[in-house]
Every structure is written in structure tokens, then in C-alpha cells.
Structure 1
């Protein structure tokens, strides 16, 4: 396993040793020499980035999509662009621009708290307006700062692989043929996606989009904000950023909360299989709840719910359902995505029941709306979050190209999540990352973080996207305190639960760690 590399700014060398030059005897007389003058310390190639002054101003134009633009009109919010090297191996070369948004502290300011909502690919600036409302005690003590990681949102260069029309076509196309011809068709589809990303972005840009480089940007942001040490809150994939930062800069962490943890020790196969099992667990929890409600569309026997769902979803493979939009139909893939979207937040379960009831009567409108919510499609347009998800994931995960491993992955996912299956067998095709033009910059490994400040991990027992055990394991690897949360949703902190938020606020403000064995429960 290869450790993550530190930023060049942590490897500046002072060459101050004096070389003694011995004289050479010439006959009986000794020649004398003088030592050369001391060499000046090597200049830090990142100094101009770390010392830049952020030009804070209006947030107009910083919204990643029109549907969230209203939140950016709040005059209390300020935005700026952070300039960073596109390629840290070439700090004097091309640059990238990182979008940053902050809400200023309202009271006795400690410093900045940088936040990331996950994805990968979700705009980090979009998280701050909601935290202003849900975490007023933290806003009193910290500037709340969100950033769009390189390639994401309105940071530039912006990842752009597909047009809106191409996104619609990709979503509507279903590959359910496990035969060699079907596998070849899906692989051609995935290769086409990788080729489009390469032609539109350039391999040199794609090579810089991994978390390895994001954490270097984050350290430059910390410096530009004027904070000696980083206070950070990461959700979901944001925990990958936090963990990688802790590995690269353990002495620069003041406080860190990792909520909905990604386990960096897992390989691509195990991570995908475990996540699929997490969604099946969440689906089973939903169906158990649904069975107790009047007119549950999946019946009153939770043991049969997956089967009932399959009878509704599988016909969509050949005959997509009508929707309220005459130009669009609900595909099998979008039906699965719509259900998965409802698994992220328990409050969407009643909506999902209505959507499934509508599907049973031939109307796929509400399930398509849920899928659009996942894909961030609004008014016919997409932000770039799904394209960014793909590009960043390809740089952060080991490629699966061996046919036996490709088959093992397809079979493992199918066995772990029966509610997502077509009934025709797994299509063991290589995914787009197998055709990516540049190698990944991260490998599975166990974090090594000597000297890291005390940190906190939050993990939800029924989290579908980042299973509970991943949080347990990451907390053990980092020597972090663990807050166990009983419930069914993805991530839990700073979302209105007093038990969780009181403990987190005490830690972030005063450094008071949660008591060992702290457990909280989400409202049902």
C-alpha cells in the first residue's frame, strides 16, 4: 500500500550546511581555501498560493445549479476564488480556481470551520446556507466555510463529460443482457463515456482530480483563511477528504468530525458490495415500516416486499412507464435510483410509498422525480455532480479490469441487493474507470496518522450509503471517538438532533470529546 503524499509545501529543505574544502599540499607549503558562502534556503514553490488574499465579494454566479441560486443571494454570505496549482508537480504551470463561500461568525470568533457535503462531486458551497440555520451555535464561534473541490460546481476547470441531452439518454438506456454480446454492448457504452470525458477535459486535467490533490487545495485554503490549524467537518465522501488531510498534515488539524465514514482500507469490490448491502438493509427497514402503514404498496408481509417490488420494477426493462412529461419515461434504472434516493433520508419514506403506488397504476412520475433529485436534474438541466462523481471516483479507486474480478463484483452486488436486480443475471462488464486514460492516485490502505489531534467519527446503524461498520473501523484506525447513532439515514450530525449536535458543538468549540460509548437515536 502506498501512503498519500504530502504537499510539497511540507517538504521545503534548508540547505545551510557548510562544506569544508580541504587544502591539497603543494610541496612543503599548505594551500589555504575558504568555504563557499552558505546557500539560501530553497524557496517554497507554493508560498505564493498559501499567502494569497481572498477577494471576498458577492456570491452571485457561485451556485452550481439554478435551483439553489436563491440561497446564494443572502447578503450575509461572501464568496471568493482560491487559486491553486492544477498539477502540484508543476507549481509554476497552469492553475485551477476553487470556489469558496463563507458565513462570518456572529460572536467571539475562534477561526474557520471548513465543511464538505460529500459525493464525491457535490458542491461544498451549497452546504453552508443550510448549516447557518441548523448550527447557529457553531456559526457564533466560527466562520462556516464551504468549497467546491477541484472540478466540482463552479470551480474551474469544471468537469463536463456529457450534455444534458446525453445525460438523459444515458439514464434511459438499460443494459440487462448478461450474454457476451450484452457485456460487450455495456463495455462499449462505458468506454464511450470515458472517451468523451477524455476528449472534453483532457487526460492531463483528469489526472489531477483525485482526493490526493484536493487535500493539498484544502491546506492552501486553510492558510489563505488565516488559520494555523484546520477545523473540519466532512460528510460521506467528505470523510475521505478529512482522512486524507489528516494523513498528509496531521500536525495541522485542530478538530475534525467525520460523519458517514468511508473506510479507506476497503478495495473497490468490497466497498461496492458493502454499500449495496447497506441499501438493501435500508430497503428492508423501509418495507418493515411500510407494512405497518395503511395501503402499503408492497403489502403487509415484509418478507415478500422485495419480490413484490421486483414484479413492479422489472417490466420497466422492456416497457418504461409513462410520466407527466410526454417526452420522458421511467426506466428500470431510474426506478431503482428513485428508491435509493428515498433511502438517504427517512422523511422520504412516505413519498416513496406514494411513488410506488403510482407505479403500480402505470404512472412513473414521482419515482422519476426522486431519481431527478438524485441526479440533480432541474428544469431539464443537470449540474456536474454525477460527472464529477465518476471522474473523482476513477482517480480514487483501484480499477477492476480482470474478468474474474469484474464477474465477482457484478455477482457480489447482485447478491447483496436483490431489490436492484433485473432477474436476468448480472452483466459482468467493466465500468468506465476501466477505460480511464490515467491511473488512480489512491490505493486502499490503513491510515497512519501519528500526532493527529483527537477527532470524532459519527456513524449511523442504518446508513445505506456508508455502512455503520465503516465508521467503527475508521474510528479505530484514527484513534477517534465514536458517536453511534441508531436510525435509518445517511449521516446525522448538525441536522437538528440535540443528542448528536450538543456533543459535536462541545467538541468543535472547546475540544471536549464525547464520552466513551456515546449513543444517540434519530427520530422515527
Structure 2
């Protein structure tokens, strides 16, 4: 069995910074308007390209060519990025394009748009905009895309809290082996898939779409991409919605802890909801019983995996953690299935937990086309899913990490105290970045002087991007507006209620401001 890529927390996004290039210059660490990059002779061909749209099922698809290295665009090396568009339902009232990123880092926007044809957006937004998304550089159908070479040997389960010298040596060796395999598989492009360059690509896309200014919505990691764009190109922003915010001022340790505490609270919310509402389908009668059952499973499976029908390996503690944390993203979709799986696990059967884990695993990257039935259903062959690799590649590049192991071990005690296994596993997951190609960015407060008012949406019970980060991000933007959704799950627009949809759509279409303290 080949060892899989180490998983960072789902939808993890790490801090960004601003660099000097093309459209902006820095004066006192503040981005200001300067000569546009389209005036640079080396970039002019990229900014002047025409997208050649063709039908791909219910959508239109095209490809965008961008330089791999914006500091040396003349060297001829490029990324070719898939782009998809769901045309406006009302062409006579069209405002322009609404570009979005679904999250990640590592989520491909093209397959996401194919999956629902833009139905995640409100009726008013779909009527006034072409809904557009793309696969960021290195992700999904990007050419080239990041990938990791196969690692030989059978993977040994790693503890969620490596306490002993042996456990720590094993965890560190695994992290370094993953980094080496990804360097071998991806080569030099690992240094070229950071969020700043993806934001520059988005400006090339804006120009190719024919829009003078960008209208953008980013969910989760997409808020990092939007923040970076606002810092690099503040005067080219028409409207930005950042839903499920990532605070760019947090360092690697603070970000890991923020998300770990978010998941710990979300599991408590699940236990409360399950005991109060779900009744007989719940794996316990009280919140404490449910929480104790989950904690007990972590301990039990750390020593011996739960048996699974037809699987000699069973369910280990890491798989239990992945299933539980994944379920926290969508209470309305995932909690019932989690409850049934936990009930069976309490009786010694891990089959349903394994089924839930399999349902969320990415497909192996391949150059083979998807089966005809899938091409027909999706309108085109789906891109390989390299999200596990891309989430590590972008996250490690976007923020500085310690280059020795001791700072990670030093963080474990505090992480355990703050969030239990959710904290210690988050710290251990960061180990891959210890031996990863380093980027040049640093945590910082937002620097986007001249950007128009930005709308930040925060969900009070968000596990992956806790509400406190939305509050902080809204405060960092000049004229930043915070819309609060009082609810559970990850992000709000497209999955919460009409109050959120109406407020976001009014901002996107008419630039209607959201009042201070607005709550849905």
C-alpha cells in the first residue's frame, strides 16, 4: 500500500502578504495604483488574450494562459488554466462577470461550477452576472499541476498526539518523505503555486473577460485569494465578498489553533444538537455521552483499528478524525450519517465510518479521460483531483514555517490543552511544511488602501474558519463590512437563509452596503 499525501486540515488556508510587481507598488507598505501590468511589454500578450469559448455541457469553457513566473514572464514558461462560465439568465441586464473560488486551497472551480451550474448563487446574482470560475495554477485541470511521486512501502498509522521520541521521529520522517515525494513529482512549480501569483492570474482573467473591474466571491480559502487581489489591485475591485474568512495576520501556529478550536467547538455543537433534536438516531442520550463516545473512539482506534467488512486495515484514529471533522462542514447534510456511523462504531463495527471516509477521498490524478457516462453528466471530462497535494503545496508556500522540528513539538502541549486531538493533529499536520520549498510571504494586517468597501460574511458556528477571523478581517479592511450568520457549518452564502442571500446579492448587483452589526 502506497502512503497517501499527508492531509492538512480540510479547506486550510494560511496567511498571505503583498509583493511588488506589475499593477502595484508599495509606499509605506500600502498598495497604491501604478502603471498597469498590461502595459508591461512582457505581460501584454497575456492581458490581451481572447478567451475561446466552447460548449461544455450546460456551460461554456475556455483556457487562460498565464506566466509561471511574473518576475520573468518573458521566459516562455506558462500555466494553462481551465475556465468555465454559466452565462447570465438575463443578458439585457448583464453587469459583467462574477468570478468565484470555491475554497481549498486545491479546489478546482471548473468542476465545481459544472456540478451545479451556478445554483449556489442567488437568483438576482445569476440574472445580472455571468458566473465564472477557474482552476488555480497547479490545481485540478491546470497544466502543469502539482503532484507527488508515489512513496513505496506500507504506511504506518501515526498517532494524533506524538508524545514519545519514536512517535515523533516517525511523524517527522513521514512528513519529510511526503515533501520529498512532492518535490520529485512536481519539480520547480512547487515554488510557483502561491496565492499571490494566483491573484495575479485572476487579474489576467478579469482582463480576458473584458471587465474593467473585478466582481468576486470567495468561500473559505477563496477569501485569502480575494484578500490578496485587493492588496495587489485595490483600484481594480468593483465588489468583493469574502465568506468564511481567513485572517492573514495569523502565523502558522495561531492559524492551526484557531481552526482546531473551531472544530472542537463544532463537535460540541453536534453533540448538543444530536441529543436535543435527533433523538433515537443519536449515538448517545446526552451531549456528554456523545462527546465521550467520540473521544473514546480516538483512544480505542489509536491502539487497534476498528474492523471493517472486506478491509484488512480497518478504521484507525486518523480516519475517525477525518470523518468527524468533515461532517462538521455541513450539519444539514452530514450529521445524520455521522450519527449512524458512530452508533455502529460504538458496537465495534467501523464499516460505515470507512464508507464516509471513502466518500470524501479525492480521486487519484490521471491523464486518462473520465468514463463516457461521467463526461455526459458533467459536460466534459472531470479534471484529476489533486486537492490533497495542492492544499499542502499552497499552504506551505503561503506562510513561513519553522525549518526544524522542535517548534512543532513545543506547540503540542498548548494545542492539546486548547483543543485535544483537533489541536495536536493540526500541529502535526504542519510538519510537512518544515521541509517544503519556502515562500517569501509573512503574516500581516491587510494593506489595501483605496479598495472599495468589502463585504465579509462570518458564521458563528463555522468550524474551519472561525467567526473571530471574520470579525478580524472585516476590521482590517478600510470600510470593511461584516455580515453575521447565526448558525452552524462552514460558510453561509448559498447554504444558509434568504437573509444572507438577499444582503449579498444586493451588494453584488447594486453595491448596496451592509449596515454595521447586520445579523441573519
Shorter-chain TM range is: 0.7 to 0.9
CA 1:379–1:394: 2 relative to 1, 3 Å = closer
Task: Summarize deviations over 1:369-394 as a string: whole Å, max 9, x none.
Answer: 33234433499997210110011111
- Matched with 1:274 is 258
Q: Which moved more, 1:255-264 or 1:399-408?
A: 399-408
Taking the aligned partners of 1:402 and 1:376, their CA distance within structure 2 comes to 30
Residues 461, 485 of structure 1: 8 Å contact kept: yes
> What is the SS of the residue equivalent to 1:300?
coil
Alignment of 1:302-321 (within 5 A): 302-321=287-306
Task: Summarize deviations over 1:331-368 as a string: whole Å, max 9, x none.
Answer: 21011100001100111111111010111122222222
CA 1:216–1:308: 2 relative to 1, 3 Å = same
Alignment of 1:68-217 (within 5 A): 74=57, 76-93=58-75, 94-107=77-90, 108-129=93-114, 130=116, 132-135=118-121, 136-163=123-150, 174=159, 177-202=162-187, 204-217=188-201
The alpha-carbon deviation at position 308 of structure 1 amounts to 2.5
- Matched with 1:241 is 225
| Ranges in structure 1 where 5+ consecutive residues have no aligned partner | 15-40, 60-73
Residues 172, 405 of structure 2: 8 Å contact kept: no
Task: Summarize deviations over 1:209-268 as a string: whole Å, max 9, x none.
Answer: 110111111110111111000000000000000000000000000001000000000011
CA 1:179–1:89: 2 relative to 1, 3 Å = same
Q: Does 1:8 align with 2:22?
A: yes
Residues 236, 262 of structure 1: 8 Å contact kept: yes
The alpha-carbon deviation at position 319 of structure 1 amounts to 1.9
CA 1:169–1:7: 2 relative to 1, 3 Å = farther
- Matched with 1:19 is none
Residues 244, 459 of structure 2: 8 Å contact kept: yes
- Matched with 2:446 is 447
Alignment of 1:407-418 (within 5 A): 407-418=409-420
Q: Does 1:354 align with 2:336?
A: no
Indicate the structure whose relative CO is greater, using CA pairs within 8 Å and at least 6 residues apart. 2
CA 1:325–1:254: 2 relative to 1, 3 Å = farther
Residues 190, 432 of structure 1: 8 Å contact kept: yes
Q: Does 1:48 align with 2:45?
A: yes
Moved over 6 A (4+): 11-14, 378-382, 425-430
TM-score of the pair, normalised by structure 1: 0.84
Alignment of 1:451-470 (within 5 A): 451-470=450-469
- Matched with 1:339 is 324
Taking the aligned partners of 1:426 and 1:507, their CA distance within structure 2 comes to 36
The alpha-carbon deviation at position 114 of structure 1 amounts to 0.4
The alpha-carbon deviation at position 78 of structure 1 amounts to 1.0
Q: CA RMSD in A?
A: 2.9
TM-score of the pair, normalised by structure 2: 0.84
Residues 372, 378 of structure 1: 8 Å contact kept: no
> What is the SS of the residue equivalent to 2:51?
coil
CA 1:4–1:468: 2 relative to 1, 3 Å = same
Residues 159, 388 of structure 1: 8 Å contact kept: yes
CA 1:362–1:421: 2 relative to 1, 3 Å = farther
